[in-house]
């Protein structure tokens, strides 16, 4: 129960953050916090397959980018008043673009997953990476949508008359989405489906021996994770008002993976902690030196060596995945 009280307190603090930042005269903090919230959704979605399912995907940023580009491309066609592929009209309504991003993310994850999940181990890592790079180069070469330079989304999406250009509003929206996703994910990992997923990570042979066709469950988890990550990408497009192939570069997949491992693999809140740590480390260290990754590297190594559940280890058993 104490941990619930602490969580409620943390959430209250997170909600109040824009006002606190304003009062302290550091309004830029709200923007940093928005990035953290969005990255946390993406990292948590990766954690569903990486931490709970044991599927090491090195191409998760592909769905982040696809979600972002869904918003970007729909905006572009809305701006030009010219239907996408001659049939799908453009739109700037978040209530349409967000579900569209989830759909695009889900369908692509289902297709990529259906092929990748026929392999396992190192092969799986390489094939997910290869698919993500294919998507990356596809968008690099799509000159109509800016190619290498990316695509500007001049005006953020409409959403119940809210002004998403206001840093606090987009922050609260992202925070709300993060809480919603963590709640859904918390239900999923404790459900029958979640138990099967955890079983597959621990011992796939055992799962076959109790009559579980593991492939379909892995594919379902892969698809759900892709959808959630695309949702994060859609938020990013509204926050940054810009999408580019960098969103799906393999280093971005690596960053998500670092957040998961740094924060605590296979724990619900670990990826959030990881996102907080990585983004704030980048923020502070890059202020000290441009070679900030030289400092980040050893910190990562120490955490991986000494804390199996990353930063979540600091919070003892109450924060562990089975809780």
Partner 1 sequence: MAEPVLAIRNLVKRFGGVVATDELTLDVRCGELHALIGPNGAGKTTVIGQICGEIPPDSGSIAFAGADITRLSFAQRVKRGLSRTFQIVQLLDNDTALENIALAVQAAQGHSFRFWRNARLDRRITSPAHALLEQVGLPEDRGRVRASDLSHGERKQLELAIALAPNPRLLLLDEPMAGLGAAESLRMTEVLHGLKGRIPMLLVEHDMDAVFALADRVSVLVYGRCIASGLPGDIRADPAVREAYLTEEDGH
Minimum distance from residue 176 beta carbon to partner 1 (Å): 20
Beta strands in the chain (DSSP E): 151-152, 242-243
H helices then E strands: how many in the chain? 12, 2
Q: Kindly identify the residues of this chain, within the stretch 184-223, that bind partner 1 according to CB under 8 A.
A: 187-188, 190-196, 198-199, 202-203, 205-214, 217, 220
Q: Tell which positions 141-170 bind partner 1, by CB under 8 A.
A: none
- What are the phi and psi torsion angles at 301 (to 5°)? -60, -45
CB closer to partner 1 out of 48 and 243: 48
Instruction: Pick between residue 20 and residue 208 the one whose CB is nearest to partner 1.
Output: 208
Q: How many CB atoms lie within 10 A of CB 276?
A: 20
SS3 percent helix, strand, coil of the chain, rounded to 5, is 75, 5, 20
Which DSSP string do the residues of 183-201 spell out, in sequence order? HHHHHHHHSHHHHHHHHHH
| Residue nearer to partner 1 on the CB measure, 17 or 228 | 228
Torsion angle of the four alpha carbons 228, 269, 200, 102, in this order, in degrees rounded to the nearest 10:
0
Among 184, 148, 160, which residue's Cα sits nearest to residue 268?
184
Site for partner 1 in 88-147 (CB under 8 A): none
Coil, strand or helix at 48: helix
Closer Cβ to partner 1, 53 or 156, answer by number: 53
Report how far apart, in Å, the C-alpha atoms of 258 and of each of 51, 144, 279, 300 are.
12, 33, 11, 8
CB of 70 to partner 1, least distance (A): 24
When the beta carbons of 2 and 192 are compared against partner 1, the nearer one is: 192
Q: Which is nearer to partner 1, 17 or 49 (CB)?
A: 49
Shortest gap between Cβ of 227 and partner 1 (angstroms)?
A: 13
Give the tokens for residue 76: 């572009």
**4 lies in the binding site for partner 1 (CB under 8 A):** no
Q: How many angstroms separate the CA atoms of 19 and 31, rounded? A: 13
- The DSSP call for residue 286 is H
* Residue 265 half-sphere exposure toward CB, CA atoms < 13 A: 18
Q: Which residues from 282-321 bind partner 1, rule CB under 8 A?
A: none
Q: Binding-site residue total for partner 1 (CB under 8 A)?
A: 26
Name the residue nearer to partner 1 (CB basis): 297 or 323.
Answer: 323
In the complex, what is the shortest distance from the CB of residue 96 to partner 1, in angstroms, rounded to a whole number?
Answer: 25
Taking the least distance from each CB to partner 1, the nearer of 185 and 243 is 185
> Which spans of this chain sit near partner 1 (rule: CB under 8 A)?
187-188, 190-196, 198-199, 202-203, 205-214, 217, 220, 322
């Amino acid at each position: 129960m104490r941990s619930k009280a602490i969580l409620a307190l943390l959430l209250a603090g997170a909600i109040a953050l824009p006002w606190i930042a304003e009062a302290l005269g550091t309004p830029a903090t709200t923007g940093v916090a928005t990035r953290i919230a969005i990255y946390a959704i993406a990292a948590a979605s990766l954690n569903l397959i990486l931490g709970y399912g044991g599927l090491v995907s090195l191409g998760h940023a592909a769905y982040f980018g696809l979600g972002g580009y869904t918003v970007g491309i729909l905006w572009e066609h809305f701006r030009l008043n010219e239907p996408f592929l001659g049939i799908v009209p453009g739109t700037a309504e978040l209530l349409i673009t967000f579900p569209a991003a989830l759909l695009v993310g889900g369908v692509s994850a289902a297709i990529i997953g259906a092929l990748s999940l026929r392999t396992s181990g190192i092969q799986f890592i390489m094939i997910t990476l290869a698919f993500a790079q294919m998507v990356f180069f596809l968008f690099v070469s799509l000159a109509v949508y800016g190619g290498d330079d990316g695509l500007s989304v001049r005006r953020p999406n409409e959403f119940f008359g809210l002004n998403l250009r206001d840093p606090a509003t987009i922050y609260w929206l992202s925070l709300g989405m993060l809480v919603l996703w963590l709640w859904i994910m918390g239900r999923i990992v404790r459900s029958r489906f979640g138990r099967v997923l955890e079983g597959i990570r621990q011992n796939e042979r055992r799962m076959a021996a109790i009559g579980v066709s593991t492939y379909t469950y892995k594919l379902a988890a892969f698809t759900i994770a892709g959808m959630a990550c695309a949702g994060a990408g859609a938020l990013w497009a509204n926050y940054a008002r810009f999408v580019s192939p960098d969103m799906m570069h393999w280093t971005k997949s690596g960053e998500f993976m670092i957040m998961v491992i740094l924060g605590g693999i296979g724990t619900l809140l670990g990826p959030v902690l990881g996102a907080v740590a990585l983004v704030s480390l980048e923020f502070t260290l890059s202020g000290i030196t441009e070679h900030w990754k030289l400092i980040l590297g050893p910190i990562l190594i120490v955490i991986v060596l000494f804390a199996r559940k990353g930063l979540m280890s600091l919070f003892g058993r109450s924060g562990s995945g089975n809780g």
